[in-house]
């Protein structure tokens, strides 16, 4: 059966009406009017409930509406009536993947393979399934099996490109997506994907060109506009970024992300009051959005409004922040506020997202120091230095922790390493000198305590 809408002729008045409704649904589907198409298709199915093709058509319409759970039901119903049709099974497998039902997806595709080993989509679509399961070797196996059947499939190159991108193998991802664009220049969002991989791999000019190509094809795609705006913001082209965020609000005045990033533009330009208004508007549009409270907390910290900053940070953490940079920044503010619990939560969450993040280990060490847990702090600071042993601030923290544990020689070595890295560069030189004076003083006091100096002095009184 073909992937397109199916229609069959039936006899009888009810069937004729159902057929007319199905044809009208097809026309609406072709025009992209999915809501109306679904309504017509529902009426057709009510009049012809034994027509498996119409359930298949309804599933396609629901896919267009991104209602994948309902589409799965329709495909399952179609299979009951159409005796395991491979095309229907393929659509069902795709929607199982879309809804993260990976075991069912694999079972469905494997069943198709048993029925017809030359059915290429059963391999091509499994690339996506295995990629989402982070089983990338199996994703590559599916790619090569699909290539043996259809060597020039642009979707295969696109799908394996996603696997490579998620692994950070950007050069190979670029090659695959460029191959997709060569084989099918009209492939949906291929220039957008190329823009993203050029961006993260530091190829700014190519990223800008790819973003522009995608926007020329899809000028109202808000996701592309948003990413392009953020790219421009990171590139320092603030005015161009501002234009993209304003365009988002032209298409969708209630876009919380549009308001938030306009706030970022004003913040970077030093317009604090305007930034404040935009962050507040973003929260108004989406009270669950992560980001605005973090920026407002920064403003409160600068103004010395520490209680308000703490409340905003706690509220922000509840938004399930998934950005390591934000979590590290929040943790640092909690440390300034001497809130060890809040700091620890932020740094631990950052480490869940990025296990090899030295700043998170350093921050966790600071949180433990606030609690007086210096042994645990030493373990964390050692991890931070294992990942980045040339960070002067971390070396000074390590020296201070060692001093608290009265490990004087270790503390001295950390200070010396900091001095070797930074020399007389400020503020490291002054901080290192002050810390070294403190270490020497504390070492003398520790020595006197061990000799009983204070006890003897008290006795002489």
Measured distance CA(381)–CA(377) in Å, rounded:
6
Cis? peptide before 427, omega within 30° of 0: yes
C-alpha closest to that of 50 among 91, 101, 14, 88: 14
Measured distance CA(150)–CA(393) in Å, rounded:
56
The highest-level CATH class for domain 1-119 is mainly alpha
Query: Is 115 a residue whose pLDDT tops 50?
Result: yes
The tens digit of pLDDT for each residue in 239-285 reads 999 999 999 999 999 999 999 999 999 999 999 999 999 999 999 99
Q: Which long-range contacts (CB under 8 A, 24 or more apart) does 23-30 make?
A: 25/57, 25/61, 26/57, 29/5, 29/57, 29/60, 29/61, 29/64, 30/5
Average pLDDT over residues 95-99: 98
pLDDT band at 439 (very low <50, low <70, confident <90, very high): low
pLDDT band at 154 (very low <50, low <70, confident <90, very high): very high
Number of H helices, E strands in the chain: 26, 0
Residue spans per domain, the chain: 1-119
Cα-based distances in Å from 282 to 221, 259, 291, 377, 408: 20, 5, 9, 38, 51
- Give kind and range of the element (H or E) at residue 347: helix 340-353
C-alpha closest to that of 279 among 302, 256, 300: 256
Lowest mean pLDDT across 66-75, 112-121, 211-220, 435-444: 435-444
Average pLDDT over residues 93-100: 97
pTM metric for this prediction = 0.78
Cα 422 → chain centroid:
35
For residues 141 and 110, the answer to whether their CB atoms sit within 8 Å is no
- Collect all residues with Cβ–Cβ distance below 8 Å to 162 and sequence separation of at least 6: 127, 128, 131, 173, 193
Cα-based distances in Å from 30 to 27, 36, 104: 5, 11, 30
- Collect all residues with Cβ–Cβ distance below 8 Å to 332 and sequence separation of at least 6: 343, 363
């Amino acid at each position: 059966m073909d992937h397109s809408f199916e229609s069959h002729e039936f006899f009888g008045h009810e069937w004729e009406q159902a057929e007319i409704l199905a044809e009208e649904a097809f026309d609406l589907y072709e025009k992209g009017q999915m809501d109306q198409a679904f309504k017509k298709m529902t009426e057709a199915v009510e009049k012809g409930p034994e027509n498996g093709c119409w359930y298949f058509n309804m599933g396609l319409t629901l896919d267009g509406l991104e209602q994948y759970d309902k589409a799965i039901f329709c495909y399952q119903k179609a299979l009951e009536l159409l005796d395991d049709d491979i095309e229907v099974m393929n659509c069902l497998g795709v929607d199982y993947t879309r809804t993260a039902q990976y075991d069912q997806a694999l079972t469905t595709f494997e069943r198709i393979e048993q029925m017809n080993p030359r059915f290429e989509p059963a391999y091509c679509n499994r690339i996506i399934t295995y990629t989402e399961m982070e089983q990338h070797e199996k994703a590559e196996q599916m790619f090569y099996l699909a290539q043996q059947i259809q060597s020039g499939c642009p979707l295969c190159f696109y799908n394996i490109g996603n696997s490579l991108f998620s692994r950070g193998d950007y050069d190979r991802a670029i090659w695959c997506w460029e191959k997709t664009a060569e084989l099918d220049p009209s492939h949906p969002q291929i220039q957008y994907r190329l823009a993203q991989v050029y961006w993260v791999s530091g190829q700014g000019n190519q990223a800008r060109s790819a973003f522009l190509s995608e926007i020329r094809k899809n000028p109202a795609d808000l996701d592309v506009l948003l990413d392009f705006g953020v790219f421009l913001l990171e590139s320092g082209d603030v005015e161009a970024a501002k234009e993209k965020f304003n365009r988002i609000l032209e298409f969708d005045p209630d876009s919380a992300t549009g308001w938030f990033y306009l706030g970022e533009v004003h913040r970077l330009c030093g317009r604090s009051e305007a930034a404040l208004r935009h962050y507040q508007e973003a929260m108004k549009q989406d009270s669950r959005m992560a980001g605005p409270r973090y920026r407002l907390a920064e403003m409160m910290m600068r103004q010395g409004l520490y209680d308000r900053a703490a409340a905003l940070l706690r509220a922000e953490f509840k938004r399930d922040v998934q950005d390591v940079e934000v979590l590290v920044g929040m943790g640092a503010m909690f440390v300034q506020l001497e809130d060890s619990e809040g700091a620890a939560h932020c740094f631990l969450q950052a480490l869940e997202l990025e296990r090899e993040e030295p700043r998170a280990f350093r921050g966790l060490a600071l949180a433990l120091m606030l609690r007086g847990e210096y042994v645990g702090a030493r373990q964390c600071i050692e991890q931070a230095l294992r990942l980045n042993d040339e960070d002067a601030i971390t070396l000074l923290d390590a020296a201070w922790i060692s001093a608290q544990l009265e490990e004087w020689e270790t503390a001295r070595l950390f200070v010396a390493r900091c001095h070797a890295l930074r020399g007389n560069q400020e503020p490291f030189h002054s901080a290192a000198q002050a810390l070294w004076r403190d270490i020497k003083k504390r070492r003398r006091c520790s020595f006197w305590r061990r000799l009983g100096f204070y006890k003897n002095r008290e006795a002489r009184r």
